[in-house]
């Protein structure tokens, strides 16, 4: 992961505000407290091509067809606090998306675990066989 500079990446972010529903009564009906953040991943000058691809893949459900990541916050009654919240969420989300996943190393199942599994299967089979003593295939006494 390239350590992106948060202040540099935030220069590429666009914000918009709108009226928010929910609590707040008349205050919420007349002020624009909901904040939406837009980040165009494809047009970013700070991300390398492989990083853009990783972000597109990991955040595909949150992005538009044009490759614009959109987040919103309307948690509080303050536009400034909502802007700070959505910015923090964006930076955390971007940092998580840029992390490289370690490849999974295949391991063998230990011999003791295999033997234990087979032993428990054998015991279970014996229990079931014990229930069928003296009965034919259809469960009738012979």
Query: Where are the chain's structural domains?
Result: 6-98
Instruction: Give percent of the chain with pLDDT exceeding 90.
Output: 24
Using alpha carbons, list the distances in angstroms from residue 92 to 49, 59, 80, 105, 121: 20, 12, 19, 28, 47
Distance, in Å, from the CA atom of 44 to the CA atom of 20, rounded to the nearest integer, reads 29
Which one, of 40, 45, 38, 41, lies nearest residue 14 by Cα? 38
pLDDT one-digit tens code per residue, 120-133: 999 999 888 888 76
Residue 1 has pLDDT above 50, yes or no: no
Residue 142 has pLDDT above 60, yes or no: no
Classify domain 6-98 at the CATH class level.
alpha beta
What is the model's pLDDT at position 129? 85
pLDDT one-digit tens code per residue, 18-69: 887 666 667 667 778 888 999 988 888 888 888 888 888 888 888 888 888 8
Global model pTM greater than 0.95: no
| Per-residue buried b or exposed e for 52-70, using 16+ beta carbons within 10 Å of the residue's own CB | bebbeebbeeebeeebebe
Q: Is 69 helix (H, G, I), strand (E, B) or coil?
A: strand
What is the model's pLDDT at position 133? 66
64-84: average pLDDT: 87
Tokens linked to 113? 């675990």
Higher-confidence residue: 19 or 104? 104
Distance, in Å, from the CA atom of 79 to the CA atom of 68, rounded to the nearest integer, reads 22
Higher-confidence residue: 120 or 16? 120
What is the model's pLDDT at position 141? 58
């Amino acid at each position: 992961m390239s350590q992106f500079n948060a202040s540099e990446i935030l220069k590429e972010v666009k914000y918009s505000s709108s009226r928010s529903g929910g609590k707040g009564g008349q205050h919420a009906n007349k002020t624009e407290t909901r904040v939406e953040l837009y980040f165009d991943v494809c047009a970013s000058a700070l991300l390398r091509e492989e990083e853009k691809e990783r972000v597109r893949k990991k955040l595909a459900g949150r992005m538009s067809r044009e490759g614009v990541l959109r987040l919103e916050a309307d948690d509080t009654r303050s536009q400034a606090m909502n802007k700070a919240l959505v910015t923090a969420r964006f930076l955390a989300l971007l940092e998580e998306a840029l992390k490289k996943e370690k490849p999974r190393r295949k391991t063998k199942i230990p011999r003791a675990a295999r033997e234990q599994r087979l032993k428990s299967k054998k015991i279970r089979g014996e229990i079931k066989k014990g229930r069928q003593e003296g009965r034919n295939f259809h469960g009738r006494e012979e």
